[in-house]
Structure formats: structure tokens, C-alpha cells
Structure 1
């Protein structure tokens, strides 16, 4: 196998593997068909280059926006197609199966779009929502710091709006997106969402937004993740996305536990394709394929259930499976997989990304518990 070119990873023939088209209503099927064709024909052959080259990632992200990917999860009342969570879960799986970097930035825009959809009465939604749904404007988001104590960024109400002070430790999409939504707790612990420019900026009032150089990440480096220092930044009323309750991040984390299992399952699926092509890895392939299908069936049986606590265990199982299947593909591929441009090298690093993405307390506990159980089995 050429270490610089990925094999086409869509799909492995398997009658038990469903995709987004199998669940979408007729109105969404043409868009999904175009997206699948684009991912298979254009993205998959250059996925390793997309992982490293921001220009290719930007082009792919913009193409997906033009094809209508961001319309799929938006309610019809707001100009979308109102796809259900099963359709969206399978689409997320297919994206991650093809390119983790592209899947990651699609998720960033979708997360920001979701926040605006929670505050459709706000000025920002009124101004930008239609363009965001069409993918004509791409937008990032930063809220992972809300899981920290104390929170790195704080908001204070003033007579002219709100003032932000502090740090944003994780902000992906620099030079891919033109704006981002920042989350900051107010003195009463409610969460302010503010629209900010995705550039170094200084306000006439003295506020400063300073972005770091892109962080040298081990995984999905082309997503251009930076840190931001925010000094006395004034958020005028027209840039206020909305205000949510103090429990916003806890509620969101519970809602996303199972939805976010799609990406590691897609990563594992791609590693299975590598194993399927190795005659000397037949036993490994069948072992992990069977595990994949058992977990897939469990997740599908839970997608309609509303956030029970054991969803953390299912998400953790998906992450552990992504790690183990990529490790198996690494072993099967040998030393060539150490080359940065190798498909297995990319999948192995993407599995690491999913280990820390959205890492809240229940998920961290479930991941550690899974490691302990694995150790006891041996």
C-alpha cells in the first residue's frame, strides 16, 4: 500500500452497515447523495494531505457548505431540512471515516450554529443565521473552558453591553472561519454567548483580542487551533448571541455523549478497512469487525433515548475501539505507518483526538474505568 495515499474507505460492503441515506427523508436525500459522492471521490484520496494542509481543508469545508451540509440538522422553520438524529449520527460517522480534520471543523460550525438556533430572537441570529445555514459564512466556537474551575474567561455587564476578560484556551478554525462564538459566565453564573471576529483586533474603546500562532497539535493540525487572550473586550448588544442558564454546559454534555460517538466509530471503521486488506491480519479484522458491529447495534438502540448516564460508557467504548483498531492497523502496516503522511498514522492520531474531545467528568471516568477493566481481564 502506498503510504502517501489513503485507500478509498467508503464503504466496506456489509449488509448490516447503514448510512445517512437509509434514514433521511426524500427531501434531504439529494444533498446527502452529493455529499457522499464528494467525500468518496474527492476527499478520501487526499485525506492525508487535508490533515496537513489548511488550504485543502478550507476548500473541502467550503464545498460541503455549498452542497448544503449545514442545512441538514437545522429545523425547517429556520430554512433547514430538519433531519433526525439518526441521520445526522450516520453523516458524522461518514465524515470522520473519511477525514477527521474535515469532520472536526464541520462540527465546530454546527456547534456554533446550534447555539444561534437556541437564541433565534437575538440580533446575531437575525443577521447571520440564513448565511450560516447556507454555509456562506463559516463560524467557530469556544466553550470548552466552561468545564474548568475557575473558568478562564469571564463576562461583566456594563451600560454599553458586556466586557470580556481572560483566555480562550482552545479555538479551532483560524483562517478557515471569519467569526466565532465565545462563551463566558456572568457574575450570576448564567452563560453569555458573544460573537467575535476571528482575527487579531483592537477596539476604539481599548479592548484587545490577541490570537496565538496555531498550536503545534499532534492531531488534525490543519484545523488551525489557537489560543486567544481577551483584554477588556466590549460586546455591544448587536454582538450578543444570547444568554443561557448556568447549567448550559452540563446539559449540552449529556445531550452530546452519544451523538459524539459517531466520530470514533467512523475512525474505527476506517482502520477496519486497512485490516481488511491485509491477508495476515484476517483474525484481527474479524475480531474488531464483530466488536464494531456489536457496539454499533448498542448505540443505535440508544440514539432515541434521552441522555441516560450509561451513555458515557458507550461513548468511551467507541473511543477505546477507535484506539485499538488504529493500533491494530498500525501493527499490520509495520514501520511504514510511522511516516506522517500514512493513512494509519493519521487514524491513530485522530483516535487520540477523540479521547480528549468533549472530555467531561462522566466521560473521563468511563474512559478510565474501561482501562481498568481491560487491565483486570489480563
Structure 2
């Protein structure tokens, strides 16, 4: 990681701001003074964390040297315990530094996140796995103290989920959950398998930001809203009233149907909320393409080969293929302890951002060749 080099940039910027704050003429402009003071404080916090990180790294090196030099088993055991503690502290400080370098955008950190889970390849076993993923994310949200709201629920015959859509709201919800978008693959022996054979199935996850009214201009004439009788299990009254609502957005061709509530009004509200989130995701996709930043499809086609993560139950392991990393704590992971992978994905994203910014800076500093085009090496 090029963190050391990036911190050099931060130090130079901090020194420059400190010089600015020492100038008397600055204080004739209160708004500019406040802006510079805030940035000065933020950078100081980053540099203080970095200083602490360097101290911990030096302490770890000293303990590692001690462990190599001694033959005393008791001292070696104590040294290994201290090395583990310091390694955890280094990881914690690294995440804190990266988080301070790239704080979450205010408009994204405060919004609701809509999560859509659908059964992919694998029939009923895929639906059961989709239900497991829904439980996993619900447990994770509970641990984080995030609020949850179920928006749509389509069960399968054996207790799985063909589709479930729900929203979560809380600090850093989108920042952490965005990495879950993609194809999730499970390898296990299904309850319906009589010969004990391991099956491979998939479920897809899409993580969307909930749209705000100011972000989307949805005209009433662009919507076709239909009400109909709800279908499926759900009690005595579910099939006796026209409570289900189907919303079709004519320009985009997106259709949303909600029937979970007995109230037609509530079903309409939920359907419009899901529609707006999908339209916002499409709008953001189009804008990203205009900026020439290619973005992979959020969930692919659901095929087994298009996987971001594999959950192997016979071996009790979970593997994320993007880092890659493998953990052998599948049960606790399915109970919502997914931060060990999420944190590493966040760290990798921020490391790539640092590398990209440094590469762009190098490009600007290099002499131009070949008709004025800078060369990046």
C-alpha cells in the first residue's frame, strides 16, 4: 500500500494550512477561516493516527525480533500474544486512517439503503439460500443498530425466498453494504437431497440508494398504476380485497408489484419507493457511463461462475473472490459477523483510490511526449 507516500501529501497540505492560519489577514474573512480551520483539524487527526500507527508498527517489529532471538518457550508464547494484539491494533488504525482520508459523502451516509435478494440458479435450494442471506443481513443490521423495513416478500413452497426487498437506515449503511452487490454462491447438501450430494446454487444481491424526491422527476402521466387481488398465502382476507398494487413506469419499462400489506395505500407507497430506488440506480448508471467510468453490472445473470463470494458449508468456510480472502467461521458469518470481509473490501477500495490519485499526480508531473500526451508508468 502507498499510504506512506500519500501521507506525505497530507503533511504538506497540513503545513500549508498551518501557515495560512498564522496570517492575520485571514481572519477578516470568517467563513474562509472556519473552512480552513476545519480542514486543518481533520488533517491533524489523520496525521496523529498515522503517528500512532508508526509507533505500533515499530513496537511489533521489536517484539518479533525478541521472539526470534529467544529460545524460552514461555517468552515466545507471550511474544506471539503481543504480536497478535499489535497486529489487530495496526489493522484498526489503518482502517481509521483510510476512513479519515476518505470520509463518507453526507448525502450517501444518511440515506436509506434498499437491498434486493433474489434466488438465482438452483431451484428451491437457491430460494432457501436467499432466505439465509436475508437472515444474515438482518442480523448484521441488528448488530449495527440500523433500522429495517420489509418492503416485499415472496416466499417459496419449502420456506425459502424467491425474492425479498427491504430497506436499512443507519450510519455507514451504504458504505458497508455496497460491497454485497453481486452473485453469492452456496455449496452444501440440501435438505431435500437423499444421497448426501453437495449442490451448488446461487442468489443475487443488489444494494441501492433510496431515491429522494428532489433527485427524480417522475411525472404522473409516466406511471400506470393498477390494483388487483393479492395472491398466495397470507390469511383469510388476502384474496378477498383488491389490495395488491402494480406500478409500471412507462419510459423505463420498470414494473414493481407489492401485495404484502392489506392496505392498498401502503402497498402503493412501498411500490413507489422501490421504483424510485431502481430509477435512481439507473440514473446513476447512465451518469457513470457518460463520465466514461465503466461499471460492471450489479448482479450479473445469476450464473454460478459470476460469483463474488462462496459459502461452503461442508468445510465451514466463506471465500470472497474479490480480495481474495477465506475465513473458516461460516456459522458466525451467517449469523451476521460479516465485518472481517467487509472491512477488508473497504480497505482495498481506499487503497485503490490512493493508488489512482498518486498515478494521476505522477501523470501531471511527467514531461509530455508523443504529441503532448503524458505517459503513465
TM-score by length of 2: 0.25
Query: Whose strand fraction is larger, Structure 1's or Structure 2's?
Result: 2
Higher RCO by CA contacts (8 Å cutoff, separation 6 or greater)? 1
TM-score by length of 1: 0.25
